[in-house]
Structures are given as C-alpha cells and as structure tokens.
Amino acid sequence: MRRTLATILAADVAQYSSHMEEHETSTLFHLVELRSRMDPLIAKYNGRIANTAGDSIIAVFESPVEAVEAAIEIQEAHKAYNAGVKERERLFYRIGINIGDVTIQQNGDVLGGGVNIAARLESVAVPGGICVSENVYEQVDRKLPTTLTKLGEQYVKNLEKPIKVYAIGPTSNSFGHALQTFLIRTVKRPSMQLTIVSLALVATMLSGYLLLNIRTPDWATRGDEQGQFNGLTKQEILAKFDLVTTGHFQNSDYYIIRYWGGLTMDVLEELADALGGHVVTINSAAENMYLFDLSLQQPGHWMVQDISDGSKQVSGPMIGLVQTPGSVEPGQGWHWLDGETVTFTNWKQGGPENSKGHQNLAQFRANGMTPVPYWDDIDDCQDSVIIEVPASAAVN
C-alpha cells in the first residue's frame, strides 16, 4: 500500500435501487450503455477507474481540471443517450469530485477520507449533475468555460465539520465554447456595421445564456402548487426531488426528502398522502434515534444557514409536530398532524421557545454546529421533511 494526494471522482446512479425494482432488465441494459460512454472518457482525460460496485465507480485523476472536464463530458454523453430512452427508464449519474489523501491498495483500489468526501459530494449532486469540494473549485475556477455555483456548507455523516460544496450545472457547456469563438471572429471583421450588428446579437445571446445558467434550477423552485402529485406513482413522485433517503423501522417505511424550502405545509401533507403516509410522528426514543441516524446517512438533509447577526444555524429535517394557533406559548397545544396522541417529545434544552413569536412547526436542530437528535420550534417550512408510510399502506 502507498499513500498519495489525488483527485477522486465518485459516481453512481440516482435511485438505482428503485429502477432495479421497477424494471431490472432495461436498467441493466442502460447501465451497460452508460458505462460504455463513461469509461473511455475517464481514460481520455488521464483518469483510472479504481473501484467499482454495481452502479458505482471511483476514478482517480492527477489533475482536478481533467477530472472536471471528464465529468462534464460524461454528463453530456449520458444526456445525449437518454434522449432516446423512455423517460421512466432513464438513468442519471450523480458525480462528486474531491482532492484528498488516499491509500492505494495492492489490487489498485483506493481508500481513505478523500474518497469518502467525494462519495458524499456525489450524493449531494442532482441527478445528471456534478458537485465539487472547495479545494477542487479553487483549482478549476476560471480555468474552464463553465459556471460553478456555491451551494454552501453541507453536514455529512462521520465528519465533525461541514464541507463547502459547489455545483456544476448538468446542461451542456458547448454553447459557451461556440459563443466565445463567434465573438472573437466577429470583432476581427473590418466592417463596422457588421461589428455593431454582431455585437448586438452576441449581447442578446449572452443574456439568454446567463439566464439559462445562473437561474435557480427547476428542482429547487417547484413552489407550492397544490395537486402536483395527483395520479403519480411512488417512483414518479420521488423523482421530483434531488435527494431522497429511505429506511424501515418496526412497521413503517420512512422517506427523508429534500425539497429546498420550496413547499408549504399543505403541500407537504399532500406529498405524504400521495405516498400513502403522513409527515412523521415519533413515539419513542428508539424511533427518534433511528430517524436522526437516517438523516445523516446522506449529506444534504442538514443545512448550514446564515443568520442575520452573522452567526450560523444548522437545521435538520422537519417532523409532523405542529402547534394549534392561539395556544399558550411556548409549550401548549402541540400535536401530531395525523391526529396521533403525543406520547413522546424530545425538545432541545429550553425548547420550544417561540423566539420569533410565531414558531408553530418543528424540526431536528443542531446544538451549535453539531447535529443532535433534539427538536426545535420553527416558523416556516425548512429544507427536508420526514415522511412515514405504514408498510401495509405503501403505494407503488
């Protein structure tokens, strides 16, 4: 074994288990096709595939620039392939890239913290997207014709400190190359009239390009449209969200769903009902600890938020505990949305506190910057929610 500093690319298929459950034969076929496009591109940019397991791969590069170039071209190739695939069968790889210390095993596999962070970055990425760590961002910023958007700090399992994450849009960047070439050729032409007309055209195209590439992505702005889940299957509902963590405890299935704060409580109830369940009720310390651990299995359900006084607040997923309007503050009138009797609570010390005068919802909340399995009262829907579905009521 030997240690080295390397750029690690981690990739796997979003919701792969669900695809295998729904249509195994076509999933395996499409997986082979996607890999046949991915593997040569990794080699093209001087990368080496080190570890594989099912749909997942770990590749190692010496250059972070080449790793990002490979990732962008892989996603473009996969997008082109998926254009000819039935929508429900489309597989989308998520890619995470990190620079870190790794141990190279005798069989060529790589292990270590650098690999773990790359894998967690991958799980933060949207399907068809790319996320990179801050150390990668520093190496590739302004060296590639692409836009990197800061997603902020993300807490991930087994790491005490959050990691800073940057996203590269899943859309092709070929237009950027074309625009750059067009502009250079235009300004060299002798005719002033043509130059003026061309510059006006370039300005129009550039405005459109920026609008398409810096706007908030569709998956982060679904809004609060009621009825949007009507008639959809479980797979179609979950496909609307970029991060879903599933688990099973005693007689219920659980879905922790990240929705980036774009839904109201009414729509969250519709979402839960469409999945055959309700916003979670927690009735024991064991269930509470199970859900806390589940929320940390994938990075992205605990978010670091900037507070107006300059401090930071770490928030976890919402639960189905709400306060009846007009109740005596801060501790009276709390009840479960589905009507279950409140037999267990796990408020943080001093909570609920109703510090803003209108905090009538509840979520997991960190102690300072460290996620803990305690609850706090909040005033608005946050970024993730836990849905509980009794096993006998699960929808297809």
Local mean pLDDT, 10-residue blocks, the chain (396 residues): 89 89 92 95 94 89 94 95 92 94 84 87 87 91 81 65 76 37 45 60 47 37 64 89 91 91 82 95 94 90 70 85 90 92 91 84 86 89 91 61
In terms of Cβ atoms closer than 10 Å to its own Cβ (0-12, 13-18, 19+), residue 29 is middle
Q: Are 167 and 151 in contact (CB under 8 A)?
A: yes
What pLDDT is stored for residue 158 in this prediction? Answer: 55
Q: What CATH architecture does domain 234-393 belong to?
A: Roll (3.10)
- CATH number, domain 2-168, options 3.90.1300.10, 3.30.70.1230, 3.40.50.1000, 3.30.450.40: 3.30.70.1230
- Judged by DSSP in three states, 288 sits in helix
CA dihedral 91, 316, 213, 140 (to 10 degrees): -90
pTM for this predicted structure: 0.50
- Both tokens of 192, joined, read 């002033």
- Judged by DSSP in three states, 254 sits in strand
Q: What does the alpha-carbon distance between residue 49 and residue 27 come to, in Å, rounded to a whole number? A: 22
In terms of Cβ atoms closer than 10 Å to its own Cβ (0-12, 13-18, 19+), residue 184 is exposed
Q: Are 359 and 223 in contact (CB under 8 A)?
A: no
**Tokens 């995470």, residue?**
96
Residue type, 88: R
In our burial notation (b when 16+ CB lie closer than 10 A, e otherwise), range 314-340 reads bbbbbbbbbbeeeeebbeeebbbbeee
Residue type, 360: N
**CA nearest neighbour of 63 among 173, 116, 140:** 140
What is the DSSP code (8-state) at residue 297?
Answer: S
What pLDDT is stored for residue 172 in this prediction? Answer: 33
What pLDDT is stored for residue 176 in this prediction? Answer: 38
**Tokens 């790319």, residue?**
130
What pLDDT is stored for residue 183 in this prediction? Answer: 42
- Judged by DSSP in three states, 20 sits in helix
What pLDDT is stored for residue 170 in this prediction? Answer: 41
- Both tokens of 384, joined, read 């993730």
**CA nearest neighbour of 235 among 14, 16, 18:** 18
**CA nearest neighbour of 327 among 357, 300, 347:** 357
What pLDDT is stored for residue 218 in this prediction? Answer: 41
What pLDDT is stored for residue 311 in this prediction? Answer: 65
Q: Are 332 and 340 in contact (CB under 8 A)?
A: no
